[in-house]
Amino acid sequence: MPSPNLWRETELGGGAVRQIADEVSLTLAPGRASVYHDAQISDYRATVRDFAHEPPLRLELRARAVGEISGTAGFGFWNHAFAPGERGFRLPQALWFFFGGPANDICLAKSQPGNGWKAATFDAKNWRFCALLPVAPLGFLLMRSRRLFDALWPLGQAAIGVSEVALDSALLTGYHRYSIEWRAGSAVFAVDGEVVLRARRVPRSPLGFIAWIDNQYAIVTPRGRFGHGLLEIPYPQSLQLREISITRLS
């Protein structure tokens, strides 16, 4: 596991980062919905986005959740596309294990749920996505028809490089081993050594490592439903990590 001195710790609202022996605990205390609560570790500076990771590499760690997560949580790699309270926005890129609580509805992969525990990747920083942007408002209207949605959304999903698979949220109740093997042009996600997702469209540019838990929610659907906000934290909840390793591959 990297030295604790390498992590950049973020503690906002009732968020706290604690390390005891080989375990990092990201915890949210009970708090109001009017405040952004976040506990996270990362290995880059958000202001300059000095990302250090690019393929080929392998991320491996053990993780569990304690308490029912209200907002979002997860770990993996991304380009710090946006964050509550920060200015600026980048076209998002990520390879990560992601959890969205019941208020979330990020429904970007056909036949996959908009919340829950999932392995996912997306890469909006490509020419396909930029080419579709001018017609996106019309596309949202057309896809309110089930038949047109079935016909058109596979094109949109491919344009933003979305690959994801729902995982059993019961996995979060105990420690399990998660890994992401990221190579140029592909990524393999595994849980306890069993492959759960093979992605063929993946980011190629450098990304940063992040692990977090917070109280935000988002709604993003191909049919034009958008929203975001903050949630009350009614009870303590945490994401706990062990044996974090990031290794270069040949």
pLDDT by residue (tens digit) across 207-221? 999 999 999 999 877
Identify which of 58, 61, 43 has the alpha carbon closest to the alpha carbon of residue 187: 58
Cβ burial, residue 194 (10 Å; 0-12/13-18/19+): exposed
pLDDT per position in the chain (250 positions), as tens? 444 457 899 999 999 999 988 899 999 999 999 999 999 999 998 888 889 999 999 999 999 999 999 999 999 999 998 766 666 667 789 999 999 999 998 877 767 788 999 999 988 766 454 444 454 444 444 445 566 445 555 655 566 678 899 999 999 999 999 999 999 999 999 999 999 999 988 998 899 999 999 999 998 776 666 788 999 999 999 999 999 999 999 8
Tokens of 38: 């976040």
Tens digits of residue pLDDT in 39-81: 999 999 888 888 999 999 999 999 999 999 999 999 999 999 8
Tokens of 56: 């080929």
Which structural domains are found in the chain, ordered by start?
Answer: 4-248 (2.60.120.200)
Q: 116, 169 in Cβ contact below 8 A?
A: yes
Cβ burial, residue 189 (10 Å; 0-12/13-18/19+): buried
